[in-house]
Amino acid sequence: MKKLVEAFPKQLDEALKIGIGYKFKSTSKKFQNVVITGLGGSGIGGSIVQNFCFNLISVPLVVNKDYFLPAFVNEKTLVIVCSYSGNTEETLEAMDAALNAGATIVCITSGGKIGEIAKDNKLDCILVPSGMPPRSCLGYSMVQILFALAHFKLIGLEFVAQIQASIKLLDEGQKDIIKSAKSLSKKISGKLPIIYSSPAYEGVAIRFRQQINENSKLLCWHAVIPEMNHNELVGWRDNAEDKAVIIFRNSDDYARVNARIDINKAVFKKYTKNIFEIESKGDSYFERAFYLIHLTDWVSVILAEIRELDATEVKVIDFLKGSLAKI
């Protein structure tokens, strides 16, 4: 897993080449809405893209992590189907619903049943390299979502330059990123991580939580400021020295959100001294987002090392899938 994390900048570069080289079958058309459907490591890219597109896309964009699709899906909907293996049970059912609804479908996968269904139905299907854990292939899948949206003129191609700049940022800063990740990992080891971010970076916070879950084999939660100021903040009332607060800070965070974070920190300090901030780097959204993702991916695998665990092992998920297969 460490080698896969280290190769993330290279993966982004390869993902750009795949997206630039893909020739879409579907012609450009007007859509009333967009649904990105996928789960886990295959679905998190949709959440991050949704954050990126918040101020760019002029139609509703929904991220779906279910067997079913929203009732509004019809022939005027673009459905982007994301499943790294191509065999994700929930995503296969959602894809079938999209076919029945007459939606325009773009698949992003390494093959599997989704690849076969796409071929049989002459659907757009962007193939990415196979043979890796889905959570280690965020760059491959997420970049293709962006190219699909750009093809249908729902967004521009400004993301390409941002990702190219991100690759340079991560390559040049790799040593410092690993150093920062090692330092943070030691500080939060043995504690339950609580991750806070502004709304624009919630997808990145979810990614960190999921990596802590799968790679580090730890429970973890995340929340967004200001939403948590209306509920979770009240829960800060008891000693919490067994917890570690990790706050993402970004140069484009809204001023009122920054003020809230500072006030929240004063509350947290009453109950725990374990409060850590990660300041992102970069001049664009994706530079900042990918910096945070790369650093926190490193944290998740270093924590696994500290815990003397195999970051790639997910036996309990294999057990779940095996049990479901018997039903």
Residue ranges per domain, the chain? 2-156, 166-306
169 phi, psi to nearest 5 deg? -60, -45
Give me the pLDDT at residue 252, please: 97
* Nearest-angstrom CA–CA distance, 168 and 63: 29
Give me the pLDDT at residue 29, please: 80
pLDDT for 240-272, tens place per residue? 999 999 999 999 999 999 999 999 999 999 999
The one-letter amino acid at 100: N
Q: What b/e string do you get for 196-215 counting C-beta neighbours within 10 Å, with b at 16 or more?
A: bbbbbbbbbbbbbbbbbbbb
Query: Annotated catalytic sites, by residue?
Result: 214, 230, 321
H-helix segments, 193-314: 202-214, 255-268, 285-306
CB atoms within 10 A of CB 266: 8
The one-letter amino acid at 306: I
Give me the pLDDT at residue 219, please: 97
CATH homologous superfamily for 166-306? Glucose-6-phosphate isomerase like protein; domain 1 (3.40.50.10490)
pLDDT for 302-322, tens place per residue? 999 999 999 999 999 999 999
Provide the 3-class DSSP secondary structure of residue 175. Answer: helix
pLDDT for 269-297, tens place per residue? 999 999 999 999 999 999 999 999 999 99
CB atoms within 10 A of CB 145: 25
Cα of 198 vs its chain's centroid, Å: 15
CB atoms within 10 A of CB 134: 23
* Nearest-angstrom CA–CA distance, 148 and 126: 9
Yes or no: say if 26 and 104 are a contact pair by the CB < 8 Å rule.
yes
Burial of 313 by CB count in 10 Å (0-12 exposed, 13-18 middle, 19+ buried)?
middle
The answer to whether the 2-156 and 166-306 domains have the same CATH topology is yes
* Tokens of residue 55, six digits: 């101020």
pLDDT for 107-132, tens place per residue? 999 999 999 999 999 999 999 999 99
* Tokens of residue 34, six digits: 């967009």
Percent of the chain having pLDDT more than 70?
100
H/E run at residue 3: helix 2-6
DSSP class of residue 74 equals: S
Residue 28 has pLDDT above 80, yes or no: no
H/E run at residue 200: none
* Nearest-angstrom CA–CA distance, 10 and 13: 5
CB atoms within 10 A of CB 75: 11
* Tokens of residue 310, six digits: 């195999």
pLDDT for 173-210, tens place per residue? 999 999 999 999 999 999 999 999 999 999 999 999 99
* 70 backbone φψ class: left, alpha, beta (φ>0; ψ -120 to 50): beta
Provide the 3-class DSSP secondary structure of residue 173. Answer: helix
> Which CATH code of 2.40.50.140, 3.40.50.10490, 3.40.30.10, 3.40.50.2000 fits the domain covering 2-156?
3.40.50.10490
